[in-house]
Structure 1
Amino acid sequence: MAVRQIAVKDTTAASMLDLSAPEFRRLVEVGALPQPCRIGGHERWRVDMLEAVVNGDAAMPEQEFEL
């Protein structure tokens, strides 16, 4: 049985979105993607939040961003 990840590091999150890690970080910095949460001093991105952005279910900022 495969374990479903609920939070991932930046390189995994970038891979999930078919982005390079620097491009993923840039989109986080400008607010197009969610900020990470901290778990024991580690930054992790919630998979459900990334999926919400891709599915169009996340609250969108007023400014448009190109993924």
Structure 2
Amino acid sequence: MAQVQPLFVSERTAAKLLDMKPSEFMSLVNAGALPRAVRHNRWDVAELQAIMRGTKIKPSEEFKL
């Protein structure tokens, strides 16, 4: 049986994915180092993974047209 991979996760699960305590995770979110919840207090797993892998452009690095 295939394991289900969530697309969006709660604060607790997002922190667990990043191997940190929920309070540490929220400190980084509040500081702007990690994105805020997308909707219904859920974080986009793919976005968190891209940030941790260094493949997501940081907001200050986005191009302005």
TM-score range, shorter chain: 0.7 to 0.9
Structure with the largest fraction of helix: 2
Partner of 1:46: 44
Instruction: In structure 1, list runs of 5 or more residues that go unmatched.
Output: 63-67
What is the percentage of aligned positions where both structures have the same residue? 41
RMSD: 1.1
More strand by share: 1
Q: Normalising to structure 2: TM-score of the pair? A: 0.83
TM-score between both structures, scaled by the size of structure 1: 0.81
Unaligned runs of 5+ in 2: 61-65
Number of aligned residues: 59
State which structure, 1 or 2, has the greater radius of gyration over its C-alpha atoms.
Answer: 2
